[in-house]
A = this chain, B = another copy of it.
Amino acid sequence: MPSALPLSAALLSLLTASPKAPAPAAAAKDSGPSTQVAGQLIGAALSEGHAYARLAELTDGIGPRLSGSEGAEAAVQWAKRSFEADGVKVWLEPVKVPRWVRGQESARVVASERFREHPLSVMALGGSVGTPAEGVTAEVLEVRSLDEVAALGDKVKGKIVFFNHAMAEAADYGKYAGLRTRGASVAAKSGAVGMLVRSLATASLRSPHTGAMRYDEGVAQVPSAAVSVEDAELLHRLVAAGSVKVELKLGCQTLPDADSFNVVAEVKGREKPQEVVLLGAHLDSWDVGTGAHDDGAGVTMVMETARLLSKLKPAPRRTVRVVLFMNEENGLKGGKAYAEAHAAELANHVAALEMDSGGGKPQGVAFRSAPGAEELVRPYLKPLEALGAAKVLEGEAGGADISPMMPARVPFVGVRVDASRYFDVHHSQADTLDKVDPQSLAQSTAALAWVSYVLAEVPGVLPRPEAPPEKEFQKAPAAPVGTPKPSAP
């Protein structure tokens, strides 16, 4: 609309009409103030390039930021400074985190009559114990599942158990992540002396992918590492033809727990400040690559959303709180600490959302709530049509760091992004800035900003879901820590 034309009073009133209690159908159709705010948020997210600039600061300026590391501490300070620079209220909340450090690591197939020595491209799993300096050398036993280990009985004793699998696309992650997280203890229970797992990856150039593992109580702790997809294929071929020995040397170790922080920022609500829409992402990353997709992208999307919402006059009806969680990757201490410290407030958390599937294009929204969420939000999705994200998607919303809020019945929302190439680089040296497309990041930031505003502004609130059965929730942290993510059912 040419700005020089005088607007009729009626039209002006229509364009600037309050979003309070619009009839949903009308809101989707009219061009009231909701639409103006949409234009403001989406326009800024798409044109100012703030999220990507921040992502470059975080990845190039700070780099990897595993919990307890100097990089993690630097990231906390950077995030605090950045919110302050944006004029967004920010504070730190203490979290005690595990501190695991990688050392020198290598592995090789020991030469035999059938083949010469082969180096293996390996990466210790986060949380693994190291090996003695001379390494652990043992015959390899290839298996395809946790159950198969138990079925093999005595054959496991003294072996390095190699968990192979058939991950081919992002959706397979959930199927096989349990091999990585639980394989070591399952193998050790049957007497294994070490564990290898095929990297959970959808692309490989001999590139291993790390990730969290945990030891069961009372079971021997055996060294555990991911091998590249290529080396998994090599092991498979060699094992198929006869006995294969591998030497594994891991210099990793666990140091005493460290002091760290969740970074919390918020834009106070104008009318219901006690009602909180929580936007989460995790500030920590693995120690390889620079955590650009995982989860630098999510961090910068929620930071930019806070910045854009903080500039709105009037402020949104409810409080929008951004939490940059610490320790999603290897302990979830930040998520647990938040739920604990804010237990009294959780009944007033009207929605929680976590961005942790990389910086791909937006695809739509999902919910975890009682019936009625879709009806509340769908009328406001029209501004996302041009971004291809005006859809309500199948499947429950979730997020590792927000999962500890499930017993408090906090409704979850997901702004889903295209994660089809996410596992090409996830948890590997290749998760670097160049892999994040600035346009996609800006588009998902725009979708997030708008959905966040809708959640904070819409007159009603999402119907709260039932609390999960005690047992199910107890099991949740034991599942692939760090990544229900795209593949989680």
Which residues of chain A in 88-132 are interfacial with respect to chain B, using CB atoms and an 8 Å cutoff? Answer: 114-118, 121
Q: Which of A287-324 contact B (CB under 8 A)?
A: 289-290
Number of copies: 2
Chain B residues with CB under 8 Å of A290's CB are 118
What is the number of residues of chain A that contact chain B, defined by CB distance less than 8 Å? 35
Against B, the Cβ 8 Å flags (1 = close, 0 = not) of A409-425 are 00000000000000011
| A430→B234 CA distance, assembly (Å) | 12
Alpha-carbon gap, A229 to B425, bound state (A) = 14
Whether A114 touches B203, Cβ cut-off 8 Å, given contacts A430-B230, A434-B233, is no
A25 close to chain B: CB less than 8 A: no
- Chain A 51-83, CB within 8 Å of chain B: the 1/0 string? 000001000111100000011001000000000
> Which chain B residue has the least Cβ–Cβ distance from A430?
B205
Cβ of A428 under 8 Å from chain B:
yes
Q: Does A189 contact B (CB under 8 A)?
A: no
Partner of A424, one of B205, B207, B430: B205
Which of B71, B114, B429 sits near A206, CB closer than 8 Å? B429
Cβ–Cβ contact B289 & A206, under 8 A: yes
Let me know if B237 and A61 touch, CB within 8 A.
no
- How near does chain B come to A108, taking the closest CB pair, in angstroms? 11
* Option from B118, B230, B430 in Cβ contact (under 8 Å) with A434: B230
Interface contact B206-A430, CB-CB below 8 Å: yes
Decide: A62 and B205 in contact? CB cutoff 8 A.
no
A204 within 8 A of partner (CB): yes
Instruction: Tell me, yes or no, whether A28 is within 8 Å of chain B by CB.
Output: no
Residues of B within 8 A of A206 (CB): 207, 289, 428-430, 432
Q: How far is the CA of A433 from the CA of B232 in the complex (A)?
A: 12
Counting chain B CB atoms within 10 Å of each CB, the highest count among A62, A63, A70 belongs to A63
- Give chain B nearest CB distance to A428 CB in angstroms: 7
Contact call B205/A60, Cβ cutoff below 8 A? no
CA distance A117 to B290 in the complex (A): 11
Q: Shortest CB–CB separation between residue A114 and chain B, in angstroms?
A: 7
Interface residue? A146 (CB, 8 A): no
Which chain B residues border A205 with CB–CB below 8 Å?
Answer: 203-205, 207, 424-425, 428-430
Q: Is the CB of A61 within 8 A of B121?
A: no
**Does residue A238 face the partner (Cβ distance < 8 Å to B)?**
yes
Q: Which residues of B contact A207 (CB under 8 A)?
A: 205-207
Instruction: Please report the C-alpha to C-alpha distance between residue A151 and residue B61 in the assembled complex, in whole angstroms.
Output: 31
- Closest chain B residue to A118 by CB distance? B63
The CA of A70 and the CA of B117, in the complex, are separated in Å by 11
Task: Report which of B115, B425, B428 forms a contact with A61, defined as CB distance below 8 A.
Answer: B115
B60 touches A429 (CB 8 A): no
In the complex, which residues of chain B have a beta carbon less than 8 angstroms from the beta carbon of A116?
Answer: 61-63, 70-71, 74
Q: Which of A9-58 contact B (CB under 8 A)?
A: 56
Task: Please measure, in the bound complex, the distance between the C-alpha atom of A287 and the C-alpha atom of B387, giving whole angstroms.
Answer: 48
The 6 closest A-B pairs by CB, nearest first: A205-B430, A206-B429, A205-B205, A206-B430, A205-B207, A230-B432
For the complex with contacts A205-B429, A207-B207, 13 further pairs of A-B residues with Cβ separation under 8 Å are: A60-B115, A60-B234, A60-B237, A61-B115, A63-B115, A63-B117, A63-B118, A203-B205, A204-B430, A206-B428, A229-B434, A230-B430, A230-B434
A residues within 8 Å of B by Cβ?
Answer: 56, 60-63, 70-71, 74, 114-118, 121, 203-207, 229-230, 233-234, 237-238, 289-290, 424-425, 428-430, 432-434
Can you identify 16 A-B contacts, CB atoms within 8 angstroms?
A60-B115, A60-B234, A61-B115, A61-B116, A63-B117, A63-B118, A70-B116, A204-B205, A205-B425, A205-B429, A206-B207, A206-B289, A206-B428, A206-B430, A230-B432, A233-B432
